Amino acid sequence: MMMKIMFRLIYLVCLVLSFNSCCPKLSPSQVTTIHDSIVTVQHHDSIIKIPGDSSWLKALIECQNGKPVLANVSEYSEINKNLSPTKSAINYKIVNNSLQVDCVCDSAKISIAWNSRNIKVTTNKTTIQTLTVNKLTYFQRVFIHLGYLFILLIFAGTIILLYHFKIIKL
């Protein structure tokens, strides 16, 4: 009795292993993604040049109600209007109730500096795929399936013969 159970177990293990060994194992493709960011800080220097400027004013001084008042005012100035009392030379004259003012400003240079930050994000995507070198043809796959069928027929035939000769009882 123990021999029959051992025989059935070995026969079943061989049958399962024969079906399992015929199918190809394909590994799935692997995708690896790497995100990377690069931060660069750049220092900038620049010099801004302000051009020179000049302006003048002529007016008559009249006395109204005991107070001086400017009359017949004529003035001229450059387009830039960069005159400031701290950086310009002001000349004025009062001659025969007439006021004359001249103002001249030299050109100036201003130095400025700033930092700029650039962030560059890169994504690297790596895909690993299995390459099938020798792919089975249609006829090869048909013969493999016929082999499965043949193994099943041998298994069924063996069981029928064992039952016929009364080695096993169902």
pLDDT digit string, tens, across residues 129-159: 777 778 788 888 888 888 888 888 888 888 7
d(CA 100, CA 94): 6
Closest CA to 91 of 81, 78, 105, 72: 105
**What would the mean pLDDT of 104-111 be, rounded to a whole number?**
79
d(CA 164, CA 123): 70
pLDDT at 47 over 60: yes
Residue entry with tokens 């025989």: 7
Q: Say which range, 6-10, 19-23, 90-94, 151-155, has the weakest mean pLDDT.
A: 19-23
CB burial of residue 53 (10 Å; 0-12, 13-18, 19+): buried
Closest CA to 106 of 125, 131, 82, 124: 82
pTM of the model: 0.32
Query: 81-113 burial, b for 16+ CB within 10 Å, e for fewer?
Result: ebbeeeebeeeeeeeeeebeeebebeeeeeeee
Domain range list for the chain:
2-6+29-131
What pLDDT does residue 87 have?
Answer: 58
How confident is the model over 50-107, as pLDDT tens digits? 777 777 778 888 888 888 777 777 766 655 555 455 556 777 788 887 888 887 777 7
